[in-house]
Chains A and B, each alone.
Chain A
Amino acid sequence: MTQLALVIDLNVCVGCHACVTSCKEWNTSGPAGYMVDKNPYKEDPTGTFFNRVQSFEIGTYPQTETVHFPKSCLHCEEPPCVPVCPTGASYKREEDGIVLVDYDKCIGCKYCSWACPYGARELDEKQKVMKKCTLCVDRIYDEALPEAERKPACVMSCPTSARLFGDIHDENSEVSKAIREDAGYQLMPEWGTKPANHYLPRRKTRIKIHEDELERVDNPLSKEERKTHNAPGTGPSLDDMTTW
């Protein structure tokens, strides 16, 4: 079974919002119709987005760290939004695990959005149907595109490669390796939704350097050694240091 998903590396995300604009650009031009932008140049602009980047400050000043946190539909393996849908407009695809909304069946009752703990679904103010990330389902299978571009728009646009895309059920995939080796985790695991999207935590790269690695104890070239041994005939000779 395939489960396509994104793995988002919080260690390298710089919060540039390129994924947000790229997502909006691709999906607003897509066959499902545009994603509304209300009052774009006025007070209270609002609109539909599939992906948003939020920022959090961790710690107390001055020991703080800013984490940029991209958030979109997590394509849960146990999606709580799907069974509650009264019309069947909300569904999870068998073949690749993508959770989708059939915009022609959706009645806009918003019940699925209540049933998503992540707030990943947004009702489009214009089309009055529930919208959410499709993992660019109209892009990743498009054979008209070069194979390297058959990825979600957000993944294509990320300048730091913070977004990986692939099948998390294939243990040899790039995403599975990232989850396994870089401590990938799920959001709100307490609800049992089993999100397919994973996040990679902030990681500090540290090397342990021992004192004697910086300065050899028996370094014949050290200041002290030179002082004591530089007088001719007093210090150790080459004969002391090695066997011929």
Chain B
Amino acid sequence: MHPAFSVIFLTTLIGAGQGLFLALFTGQIFSQFKLMPEQHNESFFYIGSLIAIILLSIGLFSSFFHLGHPERAWRSAAKWKTSWLSREVIALPATMVAIAAYGLAHYLGFTTPLFTMPGGTGVDATLLLGLAATIATYALFVCTGMIYGCIKFLQEWHSPLTVINFILLGTASGFTLATALSAYLNTGLVHFYASWAIFFTLLAFIFRLASLRRNSRIKPKSDLRSAIGVNHKNIKQMAQGSMGGSFNTREYFHGAKASFVKSIKYVFILLVFVIPLILLLLSLNVSTYYIPAIAIGIQYLGLLAERWYFFADANHPQNLYYQQIG
């Protein structure tokens, strides 16, 4: 498939935004349930939420560039019963609203417990809103992943690994961002977030490698025989119906050399996983904020490459009909 930068920015930015929110909320839960020293730095939570909202907004904005008619985008919420894209269109603003409400509750200091749980943990508005936002965040991850995962003839995408990787890569980048943010704001959560970021980056690494391995062994279900219905092992296209290009030759081919695609694979493995892991391990002990800041910068660049590769790697069966111009 042809990698579209609007969609690459959309999926990586909202992934990082969702991950950042999950990081914030994880921090809050650990603190509220007294699994670590309690945090009273409200500014970290609302600044973090604001950054998450900004990331989601830029992602949403970028998605409009993918549309032929952005002014009709409102229509796309109509078919949520059948279309994962439609579901994403609903889940994305819902997640933004929920995260905004969560950030606002922190900003306004709605931290007086509404009721107390048996263990003595006070449940306040931020916790409930955070829970709602977590559900929305995961719903959005699933929708985004399933947009690609549900197309059965794009065999590289048609796998649970697609959704898992969207979740893990988004979460990993979000936690790395949270590490940088907490280091910058001096919240004392650097060690906590860096450890989680390492965990999620490693987990994402394992699952991304699994999907690379799976995709390198895919046997295409369709070939020229089934495409034109002639049962002969030696079929060669002589003409594709037009001497110039067409939508079919632009939308489904990445147009890059195989060696370039392969190099992008190594680039993203290095940038998304290896280098951030080293930097995160460093920031476990060094308290300067620029090390995790560099880590998230590099990881994000890597994610752009990863998403580019994700598209370029997918081989559409329609390409069988467009192998030779004439």
Contacts and interface: CB of A to CB of B under 8 A. Distances in A.
Interface of A: 20, 39, 44-49, 52-60, 66-67, 69, 71, 80, 82-89, 105-111, 113-119, 121-123, 125, 127-129, 185-191, 199, 201-202
A182 B183 CA distance: 74
A87 B78 contact: yes
Given A109-B66, A111-B147, A201 B230 contact: yes
B119 to A, nearest CB: 44
Given A84-B85, A119-B318, 5 more contacts: A53-B239, A54-B239, A71-B321, A85-B79, A119-B252
A86 B69 contact: no
Point out which of B72, B236, B317 has the most chain A C-beta atoms below 10 A from its C-beta: B72
Point out which of B69, B89, B242, B244 has the most chain A C-beta atoms below 10 A from its C-beta: B69
A89 B73 CA distance: 12
B120 interface: no
Given A84-B83, A108-B68, A188-B226, A54 B240 contact: yes
Interface stretch (B95-103, B148-156, B161-169, B172-180): B148-156
B291 to A, nearest CB: 40
30 contacts: A20-B241, A55-B238, A56-B230, A56-B236, A57-B237, A57-B238, A58-B232, A71-B241, A84-B82, A84-B84, A84-B85, A86-B83, A86-B85, A107-B68, A109-B76, A110-B68, A116-B318, A117-B153, A118-B317, A118-B321, A119-B322, A121-B247, A123-B68, A128-B69, A185-B229, A186-B229, A188-B222, A188-B317, A189-B226, A190-B222
B31 interface: no
Interface of B: 1, 66-70, 72-73, 75-79, 82-86, 89, 147, 150-154, 221-222, 224, 226-230, 232, 234-248, 251-252, 316-319, 321-322
Contacts of B147: 111
A11 B224 CA distance: 18
Nearest to B229: A185
Contacts, number: 175
Given A185-B229, A188-B226, A87 B67 contact: no
Nearest to A104: B72
B321 A111 contact: no
Given A54-B240, A84-B82, A188-B222, A49 B246 contact: yes
B238 A86 contact: no
B131 to A, nearest CB: 28
3 closest pairs, A vs B, by CB? A108-B68, A128-B68, A119-B318
A84 B241 contact: no
Contact of A66 (B66, B154, B238): B238
Nearest to B85: A86
